[in-house]
Structure 1
Amino acid sequence: MTELKVEVDAAEVGFDADRLRRIDTHFRRYVDDSRLAGWAIAVARRGRVAHLSHYGRRDVEAGLPVEGDTIWRIYSMTKPITSVAALMLYEQGALELTDPVSRYIPSFADLRVYKAGSALNPATTPVTEPIRVWHLLTHTAGLTYGFHHAHPVDEMYRLKGFEFGAPRGMDLAAVCDAYAQLPLLFQPGSEWNYSVATDVLGRVVEVASGQSLDRFFAERIFGPLGMTETAFSVTTPEGLARLASLYVPRPGGGLVRNSAMGDAITREPTMLSGGGGLASTAYDYHRFTQMLAGGGELDGERLLSPRTVRFMTRNHLPGNAELDTFGRPIFSESSFAGVGFGLGFSVVTDPAAGKVLTNAGEYAWGGLASTAFYVDPVEEITALFFTQLMPSSTYPIRSQLRALVNQALVD
């Protein structure tokens, strides 16, 4: 068990320490008025941690505080890790971004696209081109999530047991075969829709590498980066003692513990979800973001080429489109204006359009329980925010974090 530590005086890397403390002052209010149970924040510049703080409780009912080694469910912050895994295989020639997914998952060979009708009686049409690996990485495959509640195909996912996660007993291969039996929302490459695409990408990683996803992560990513506490489950007594509890807002104010979903991480999963299955710590995920910020390398361990990282973190939407025009409006915690999407990350294309204090080229993502990270290559900043409140659209944490970090820069 390893904890992050402050590594540099804030002024040495261009921050005003008093202004950095505004981050804590602001987010303490979230805990003091019971909007959040607790949180942890880490801000680094030029590879060194300049601000580190935590506040509140990891378990409200037990009165246990958030600590530096608290374990968090990171949900969709798993997606960038799976995307890195896929690009590592791309670099070694094990897959092409233009490969049809059916090369790795044969059930994806003859897909259909929703045209009209209800979830119980849909009309469909054949795909005009196959789903390709790059469609999975960019969420342009036409897949969806059952929890969106925005389309008849979302309902079809729920009817099959795919709302949050998958029915018990199904492994990743079986889950992907089940997805292939459901119609797509749209023709691959024609729109953006946040989806199970990264779970399917995880299966592609398994087939292309010849390893299970957990083994690939452990041997090729977590081991080299020293991410010793990032895994698909938390089962040891010592780990369970440090695991934060999961909450949802109580109508009228306050928090309600969500044990039904929260306890899932305490069991070994049958399905290894590359889209949302991991738990991690501030130390571990900081290591991952430093690898990205370092152009694919950290402490002498190189996972990716700097050129590959730059390639991943540019906008890959067709015609350099932005999410507000190319995507379906399903997320509300982050503006789609001025934001595109790369190979596993949101990418800021126009900060003025998004009305958020940041720089073009910033890449980021977050998780269902309101965790978030971003990397700003212009300012050489990485920032992490951990908490355990779902859904992540409840409060504007991501935009507030960016503003509070960047207003503290004075160089």
Structure 2
Amino acid sequence: MLENISHYGFDTEFLTRAFDDLSTKYVDSGKLSGFSVLIARNREVAGIYHTGYSAMGDEKEDAFPLKDDTIYRIYSMSKPITAFAMMRFVERGQINLDDKVKDYIPAFSDPQVWVSGDTREFTTRPSEKDITVFDLLTHQSGLTYDFLGEHPIDALYRRKQLTGGRSCRPSVEEFVNEIAAMPILFTPGEKWNYSFSLDVVGRVMEVVSGKSLDKILHEEVFGPLDMKDTGFTLPADKADRMTHLYFKDHRKDFIRCIDRGRDTTFLKPAEMLGGGGGLLSTLTDYYKFCRMLESNGTVNGRTLLSKKTLDIMRSNQLPGGATMKEKAACKFSESDMEGTGFGISWSIITDPTTEGNYASRGTYSWGGLGNTYFFIDPVEKISVILMTQIVPYGIYPIRTELKEIIYKALK
């Protein structure tokens, strides 16, 4: 559906050819079952491109062509939604950004910074600073992820089976309390490290409101935006719209299905509501969220968040205007680190001249483990969403290729 995209300043012929080439490279070759791209400009959908199916290989008999309302596991694209909900709490005065997390979750009362050792025997020192809500929202808390594989604390998370999965603990409360008992990588605010911080943010909102995170997100985001296909659990009557999830073992160059669409684990209610990566959504549902961001927090005449607060979210919050590369304690990110800062829950391009950035200064973006991705360029007034389903993130350079195509297609 790219027929009218020239009306929005794109070269239709170039874009169609480039997307078809991308489809040949990834879908026809069996690297992806399919992918979908939504392109919007000036807060209107300019075009949507679908290629491939919901499944491939041995599961091809269950496949259906990808559509606007196909449901995907969006993993870390949940983070901006959770952060947006938290900023509504902040704007109403229910929470302050400089509040100490221990005031809401006592398990964080004595953060210990890693000094040396291994997963069985290690030494720590008391942190000079408590973790704040701001630290959580900007990934400067010192927490980490089990899958990073770069520091002994990452391995310690794995040893304790702190994976953040839907059933890894009976509740997010128990999970977050166990995370709080782990050493942190650095004094909060010193560095940037990708982590379970947004899962902790979700728990803070639960404590403040007395409600579960699914209800909070429905009230703060999904309801007002009419995002009817976004949530933590898949209703049985929507199972026929769910994609299969694939895993690529890069060492063995082998791809296998790890979660079937109609039999997905998401049919069962999640025991742990993870604000950092637990949501399902669709191309068109997520665009409703992006369009609201482009509209400076308003939808249908209703203001969900003020432009002033959104501008804080869309500004680099790393100390001294540093880039992610300068402040990162880990190598992993859902975006390029060079020439890129970090705001509240997403990366922000600070130097558009850096190779591979393509987009304008101030463009903000984030992605998910399943290689989903979105970016919003406030200068060109473009928003783009990519949906596909293969893990781990970065197994193919499709995000970078997509950005290059979009900007080369601009007239």
**Alignment TM-score, normalising by the size of structure 2:** 0.94
Structure 2 distance, partners of 1:105, 1:260, is 36
Structure 2 distance, partners of 1:160, 1:337, is 33
Q: How much does 1:253 deviate? A: 4.6
Preserved contact between residue 334 and residue 367 of structure 2 (Cα < 8 Å): no
- Aligned AA (1:165): G
Q: How much does 1:73 deviate? A: 0.2
Partner of 1:41: 37
- Aligned AA (2:10): F
SS of the residue corresponding to residue 37 of structure 2 reads strand
Is 2:368 the counterpart of 1:367? yes
Is 2:86 the counterpart of 1:86? yes
Q: Which moved more, 1:18-27 or 1:132-141?
A: 18-27
Partner of 1:268: 269
SS of the residue corresponding to residue 40 of structure 2 reads strand
SS of the residue corresponding to residue 89 of structure 1 reads helix
Q: Which runs of 5+ in 1 are unaligned?
A: none
- Aligned AA (1:389): I
Q: Map residues 18-167 of structure 1 onto 2, 5 A cutoff.
A: 18-28=13-23, 29-60=25-56, 61=59, 62-165=62-165
SS of the residue corresponding to residue 49 of structure 2 reads strand
SS of the residue corresponding to residue 192 of structure 1 reads coil
Structure 2 distance, partners of 1:33, 1:129, is 51
SS of the residue corresponding to residue 205 of structure 1 reads helix
Structure 1 124/393 Cα, relative in aligned 2: closer, same or farther at 3 Å? same
Q: Which runs of 5+ in 2 are unaligned?
A: none
Partner of 2:410: 409
Q: Which moved more, 1:262-271 or 1:93-102?
A: 262-271
Structure 1 distance, partners of 2:19, 2:260, is 31
Q: Map residues 151-230 of structure 1 onto 2, 5 A cutoff.
A: 151-165=151-165, 168-230=168-230
Partner of 1:248: 247
**In the TM superposition, what whole-angstrom CA distance separates every residue of 1:5-24 from its partner, at most 9, and x where no partner exists?**
87x93233222212221442
**Alignment TM-score, normalising by the size of structure 1:** 0.94
**In the TM superposition, what whole-angstrom CA distance separates every residue of 1:310-353 from its partner, at most 9, and x where no partner exists?**
11011000011101111134227742100010011100000212
Structure 1 distance, partners of 2:333, 2:278, is 22
Q: How much does 1:72 deviate? A: 0.2
SS of the residue corresponding to residue 170 of structure 1 reads coil
Partner of 2:5: 10
Q: Give the number of equivalent residue pairs.
A: 404
Q: Which moved more, 1:369-378 or 1:31-40?
A: 31-40
SS of the residue corresponding to residue 258 of structure 1 reads strand
Structure 1 263/164 Cα, relative in aligned 2: closer, same or farther at 3 Å? farther
Q: How much does 1:167 deviate? A: 5.2
Structure 2 distance, partners of 1:111, 1:167, is 26
- Superposed CA RMSD in Å reads 1.9
Q: Which moved more, 1:395-404 or 1:45-54?
A: 395-404
Q: Give the % identical residues.
A: 39
SS of the residue corresponding to residue 54 of structure 2 reads strand
Q: How much does 1:210 deviate? A: 2.7
SS of the residue corresponding to residue 329 of structure 2 reads coil
